[in-house]
Amino acid sequence: MAAGPTLAAGQTAPLFVRMAGSVMARRKDALVNEPGRPEKWAYEQGVLLKGMESVWRETGDERYFKYIRQGVDHFVNADGTISTYKPEDYSLDNVMPGRLLLLLYKVAGQEKYRKAAGLLREQLKTQPRTSEGGFWHKKIYPEQMWLDGLYMAEPFYAEYAAAFHEDADFDDIANQFVLMEHHARDSKTGLLYHGWDESRKQRWADPATGRSPNFWGRGVGWYAMALVDTLDYFPKDHPKREALLAILKRLAAAVEKYQEPKSGLWYEVPDKGGAEGNYLEASASCMFVYALAKGVRQGYLPDSYFQVARKGYQGIVNRFVETDAGGQVSLKGTVSVAGLGGSPYRDGSYQYYLSEKVVTDDPKGVGAFLMASSEMEMDAGQHSGKGSRTPSKRR
């Protein structure tokens, strides 16, 4: 059955607390890995633990912080090296968990976390780039920018720059968003295509524009979350801050436009809601709810978007959240993965996006859900866009 949020004293705990408890029961060691494969430093774990961070900040319960630390400490050695991390892969995915390193350094103060974060920052210094300075998503995807990469790199890059006073980096951070929007945004829908190939060599790339052929819900969700999380650390007086806010507002309008009216949710391929085989997808819906609700709370977006988020959140609860007889909470309906190129080759077609497995309790989906649920069920009055709490004030 669906589990609904109940906040009154003496009643059921908030849904994000129940989901977090279920996560900790299912994954006692905080590790995320594919069955039959060894554990590795990976963004999947990073997204899940960022969700747990949201729960910790809302509740102040140290159990969640200890869970985050346990997961990170499995990989971070006493000298600050990171087990299984290979900087020569130049994968932006591997940068994302660095946000947990910065959290742990700020709270626990251990030098190993600062050193480990520094390794990821060093990767960005030599990350391959397009001719205009956009980060390649990975070394194995030459000359390509993907929406995913903005979430994987930019919030960490911005938080690191703010923490260590590397103010010159904010120009570069802003440019990543500007370039992605410039090359991937569709003027008709307002949505961004999943990827862009500067070389136009990929089979999935449009020979004229370099764009991949379809929009992907979670891809747009990654970009939306990247914007609201990066803006938290972006200097208020920086000349390019307004450009980021404008991008977010354009994106929010497109997200609202493609919200399915009846359910309040979003489709795997957002602009093809009525097409055969398309389905409402959990992780993208969670990401949009999080980005819109946080955007309102922080004053980045007009208050009207909170109603869009509210409708989306209720849809998530109604359709994707289940509670078993033992009280364990699960999230259904997350597409396991989607990408471009590689082997076997992913051509970015409509049929490709529908071919990937849809799973329950995927760490990316659950992490995004915890972020979204924490936003939607936090203290009343926080979504007026005034007096917003910053991350450092939410403990």
Residues of the chain above pLDDT 70, percent: 92
Q: How far is CA 310 from the centre of its chain?
A: 19
Least confident of 27-36, 56-65, 204-213, 337-346: 27-36
> How confident is the model over 346-366, as pLDDT tens digits?
999 999 999 999 999 999 999
pLDDT band at 7 (very low <50, low <70, confident <90, very high): very low
Candidates 95, 84, 82; CA nearest to 122 is 95
**Statement: residue 389 has pLDDT above 60:** no
Domain boundaries, the chain: 15-378
**Statement: residue 3 has pLDDT above 60:** no
**Statement: residue 139 has pLDDT above 70:** yes
> How confident is the model over 202-257, as pLDDT tens digits?
999 999 999 999 999 999 999 999 999 999 999 999 999 999 999 999 999 999 99
> How confident is the model over 67-106, as pLDDT tens digits?
999 999 999 999 999 999 999 999 999 999 999 999 999 9
pLDDT of residue 1: 35
Which residue type occupies 390? Answer: T
pLDDT of residue 129: 98
The structure's pTM equals 0.94
pLDDT band at 295 (very low <50, low <70, confident <90, very high): very high
Helix axes 147-163, 217-231, angle to 10 degrees: 10
pLDDT of residue 6: 38
The Cα 262–Cα 26 span in angstroms is: 33
Q: Is 250 exposed, middle or buried (0-12, 13-18, 19+ CB in 10 A)?
A: middle
**Statement: residue 393 has pLDDT above 50:** no
Give the list of residues 6+ apart from residue 127 with CB closer than 8 angstroms, or none. 90, 92, 135, 136, 153
Please provide the average confidence, as pLDDT, over all residues in the chain. Answer: 93
Q: Does domain 15-378 have CATH number 1.50.10.10?
A: yes
* Helix, strand, coil content of the chain in percent (nearest 5): 50, 5, 45
Task: Give bridge partners of residue 195 from the DSSP assignment.
Answer: 146
pLDDT of residue 166: 98
pLDDT of residue 9: 41
| Catalytic residue set | 148
pLDDT band at 378 (very low <50, low <70, confident <90, very high): confident
Cα torsion 316, 151, 208, 258 to 10°: value is 20
Average pLDDT over residues 46-67: 97
The more confidently predicted of residues 371 and 12 is 371
pLDDT of residue 34: 66
Cα torsion 339, 344, 348, 349 to 10°: value is -140
pLDDT band at 190 (very low <50, low <70, confident <90, very high): very high
pLDDT of residue 29: 83
Task: Give bridge partners of residue 267 from the DSSP assignment.
Answer: 280
**Statement: residue 392 has pLDDT above 50:** no
**Statement: residue 387 has pLDDT above 80:** no
